[in-house]
C-alpha cells in the first residue's frame, strides 16, 4: 500500500483528472487500485474512505451517491438550507428548571 498519500489525497488526484462527478463505487475502485490496498483490507478501508470523504471539505456529496470536487460546484448544490429541516419541537423535553448544575440544596442552618 502506498504510504506517501492519504486515500482522500488519492481521490482528489483521481477526481482532478476528471471533468465531472463520479459514483462512489467507481471512485473507490480507482483509489483502492492507486493505493494498492490488499484485498483483505478492502472492506474496512472502504468504510474509512467514505467517512473521510464526508469530512473532507474538498469533496461534495451529490445525489445518487456521486461525488465531485466542491470547487466545481455552485454553493446551492452543496449546501443545505436549515429552513428545509423539519424539527419536531414536541420531541424536545420541556424544562422549566434552571439549566445550572445540580448542586445539593443547603438549609440556612448549614451555612
Q: What is the pTM of this model?
A: 0.64
Please report which confidence band the pLDDT of residue 89 belongs to, taking 50, 70 and 90 as the band edges: low
Strand order of the β-sheet with 22-23 is 22-23, 66-69, 59-62
Nearest to residue 65, comparing CAs of 18, 98, 21?
21
CB atoms within 10 A of CB 94: 7
* Domain extents in the chain: 7-78
Question: Which residue blocks in the chain are alpha helix, DSSP H?
Answer: 7-16, 24-35, 42-55, 75-78
pLDDT by residue (tens digit) across 6-60? 999 999 999 999 889 899 999 999 999 999 999 999 999 999 999 999 998 898 8
Please indicate whether residue 110 or residue 24 has the higher confidence score (pLDDT).
24
In degrees rounded to 5, what are phi and psi of residue 110?
A: -85, -10
For 7-78, CATH number out of 1.10.3470, 2.60.40, 1.10.10, 3.40.1580 equals: 1.10.10
Amino acid at each position: 500500500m502506498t504510504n506517501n498519500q492519504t486515500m482522500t489525497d488519492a481521490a482528489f488526484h483521481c477526481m482532478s483528472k476528471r471533468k465531472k462527478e463520479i459514483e462512489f463505487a467507481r471512485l473507490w475502485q480507482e483509489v483502492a487500485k492507486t493505493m494498492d490496498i490488499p484485498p483483505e483490507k478492502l472492506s474496512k478501508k472502504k468504510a474509512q474512505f467514505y467517512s473521510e470523504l464526508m469530512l473532507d471539505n474538498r469533496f461534495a456529496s451529490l445525489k445518487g451517491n456521486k461525488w465531485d470536487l466542491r470547487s466545481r460546484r455552485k454553493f446551492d448544490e452543496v449546501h443545505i438550507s436549515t429552513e428545509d429541516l423539519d424539527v419536531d419541537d414536541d420531541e424536545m423535553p420541556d424544562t422549566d428548571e434552571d439549566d445550572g448544575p445540580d448542586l445539593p440544596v443547603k438549609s440556612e442552618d448549614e451555612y
